[in-house]
């Protein structure tokens, strides 16, 4: 039994990840962190503590990123079993951040770091551990283009305390999750520990107070219809996929109503026909006329309707006419069969939409998960597009919605955000986790987020993060609804500076607690 004890942090990390969607067992997250903090606090050396931190992160991120294996089932470049290797490798890298958090908490706040006997875990150590997690999770979300998938705050998105994200952001809320777990540990060891009791009571009390920063009156002028075609061929397109997909989208787009203008929302990659003019002739001979595609879309619209659809932009070498790059885009099509705007995805997925160091990695046989020899290129960043009759719409494609503080053009705040996504690649685990992170962004920014996906989960998310309407995975359907218009939050004004402010306050409190205890 003693030989298995070093693997306890690995198990605790895996247990703590069960708070994320689709499981949502957030009490296990608190329990996992509570026991892990106990182990860290009593660590005998920095080497031991770093090892416990890395093993915890390995288990935590392996479970949180199990969905990464699923794309390997849908391409021929690499065998499906390699997907499980990818999960472990990704988790091994991400585990460096909990390792760093553990080392910081131990070095700064554990008496064992100074060679003193380790008494019971106190509130000061818990607060420092929360700050360490905030700092390292922020680094994870920003270093090397960032990978902030499943911030710890996402474990609380299904309960009201997630509303704190409007005031402190998801990074600071992640630290509060760690602190809540630590407070349970302190209370368990000392029933007279009143401060951690007050912290937990304050969290519960906040959850019982309605959020006042939201305007709950629906904006009836912004009426959307979300279409989810649910074609089984989405992951492995057949020769007739493009036409079959268009027919499914058209059937579910509904009928025009002169008294009820509709903004019709189609998913990421919905259109496999070109919608832009100016490409080489052979493109249209192969894929169909862009004008024809726009006319077919316009025939679905009333005089005051519009379609927002996922599409792709293409770039060609002027001399050879060979395709050299592409964009993952959103196109605006009006009832006049014209293209009224295009947004290009700015935050691309490494190894999914482009291959870093392509010449080197291709030479050793590595390929990106999405087949193809042409990389996507990024757009300039978050953008707000004004669509007559429907207001100002923020654009985020798929993965972009997970980046806290980088989802809105600060100079042109939108009325709501459109987030088309293609989650068909990610099995049953990826879509619920993706939706949960979109809910966090809605809370942070005080904006509704409307998601359209090919196979689910499509949804209208209110500014308080509540999913008002949705289409589950694996169902062909459409939903209509009016989008709520929220009010700017503290986070929308200050962004992730709030994580630094919260960290400073927590550190000051930890120092004060230790001095008062002397």
Q: Helices marked H in 42-95 — which ranges?
A: 46-64, 82-94
Q: Which of 123, 121, 159 minimizes the C-alpha distance to 466?
A: 159
Kind and range of the H or E run holding 108: helix 96-109
Within 10 A of 195 (CB to CB), how many other CB atoms are there? Answer: 17
Omega prior to 479 cis, within 30 of 0:
no
What is the pTM assigned to this prediction?
A: 0.91
Residue 312 near residue 329 (C-beta atoms within 8 A): yes
Q: Which domains does the chain have, with CATH numbers?
A: 2-212+496-517 (no CATH), 218-488 (3.60.110.10)
Omega prior to 22 cis, within 30 of 0:
yes
Gyration radius of the chain over CA positions? 24
Q: Which of 401, 421, 518 minimizes the C-alpha distance to 465?
A: 401
User: Tens-of-pLDDT digits for all 518 residues of the chain?
Assistant: 556 667 899 999 999 999 999 999 999 999 999 999 999 998 889 999 999 999 999 999 999 999 988 877 766 666 777 778 889 999 999 999 999 999 999 999 888 777 776 678 888 899 999 999 999 999 999 998 889 999 999 999 999 999 999 999 999 999 999 999 999 888 887 777 777 788 878 887 776 665 554 444 444 457 899 999 987 655 556 667 788 889 999 999 999 887 889 999 999 988 888 889 989 898 888 888 889 989 999 999 999 999 999 998 889 988 898 888 889 899 999 999 999 999 999 988 777 666 665 555 555 555 555 556 678 888 888 999 999 889 899 999 998 999 999 999 989 999 999 999 988 878 889 999 999 999 999 999 999 999 999 998 999 999 999 999 999 998 999 999 889 888 899 999 999 999 999 999 999 999 998 888 66
What pLDDT was estimated at residue 245? 87
Phi, psi of 308 (to 5 degrees): -105, 120
């Amino acid at each position: 039994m003693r030989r298995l004890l070093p693997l306890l942090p690995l198990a605790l990390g895996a247990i703590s990840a069960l708070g994320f969607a689709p499981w949502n067992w957030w009490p296990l997250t608190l329990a996992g962190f509570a026991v892990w903090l106990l182990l860290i606090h009593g660590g005998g050396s920095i080497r031991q503590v770093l090892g416990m931190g890395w093993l915890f992160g390995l288990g935590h991120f392996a479970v949180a990123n199990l969905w990464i294996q699923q794309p390997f089932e849908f391409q021929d470049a690499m065998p499906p079993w390699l997907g499980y290797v990818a999960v472990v490798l990704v988790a091994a890298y991400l585990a460096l951040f909990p390792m760093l958090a553990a080392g910081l908490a131990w070095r700064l706040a554990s008496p064992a770091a100074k060679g003193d006997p380790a008494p019971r875990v106190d509130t000061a150590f818990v607060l420092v551990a929360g700050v360490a997690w905030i700092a390292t999770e922020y680094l994870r979300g920003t270093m090397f283009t960032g990978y902030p998938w499943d911030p710890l705050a996402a474990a609380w998105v299904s309960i009201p305390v997630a509303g704190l994200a409007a005031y402190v952001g998801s990074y600071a809320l992640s630290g509060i999750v760690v602190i809540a777990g630590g407070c349970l540990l302190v209370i368990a060891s000392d029933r007279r520990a009143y401060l951690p009791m007050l912290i937990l009571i304050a969290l519960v009390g906040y959850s019982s107070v309605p959020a006042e920063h939201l305007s709950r009156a629906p904006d009836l002028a912004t009426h959307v219809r979300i279409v989810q075609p649910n074609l089984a061929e989405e992951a492995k397109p057949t020769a007739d996929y493009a036409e079959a997909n268009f027919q499914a989208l058209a059937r579910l787009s509904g009928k025009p109503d002169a008294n009820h203008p509709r903004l019709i929302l189609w998913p990421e990659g919905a259109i496999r026909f070109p919608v832009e003019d100016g490409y080489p002739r052979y493109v249209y001979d192969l894929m169909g006329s862009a004008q024809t595609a726009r006319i077919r879309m316009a025939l679905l619209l009333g005089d005051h309707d519009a379609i927002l659809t996922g599409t792709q932009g293409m770039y060609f070498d002027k001399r050879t006419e060979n395709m050299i790059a592409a964009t993952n885009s959103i196109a605006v099509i009006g009832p006049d069969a014209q293209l009224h705007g295009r947004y290009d995805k700015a935050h691309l997925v490494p190894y999914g939409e482009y291959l870093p160091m392509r010449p080197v990695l291709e030479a050793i046989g590595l390929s990106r998960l999405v087949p193809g020899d042409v990389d996507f290129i990024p757009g300039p960043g978050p953008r707000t597009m004004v669509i007559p009759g429907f207001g100002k719409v923020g654009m985020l494609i798929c993965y972009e919605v997970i980046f806290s503080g980088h989802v809105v053009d600060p100079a042109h705040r939108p009325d709501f955000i459109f987030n088309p996504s293609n989650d068909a690649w990610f099995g049953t685990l990826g879509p619920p986790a993706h939706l949960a992170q979109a809910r966090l962004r809605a809370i942070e920014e005080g904006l509704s987020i409307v998601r359209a996906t090919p196979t689910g989960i499509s949804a209208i998310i209110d500014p308080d993060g509540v999913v008002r309407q949705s289409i589950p995975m694996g169902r062909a359907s459409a939903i209509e609804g009016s989008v709520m218009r929220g009010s700017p939050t503290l986070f929308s004004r200050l962004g992730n500076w709030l994580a630094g402010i919260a960290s400073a306050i927590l550190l000051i409190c930890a120092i004060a607690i230790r001095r008062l205890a002397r």
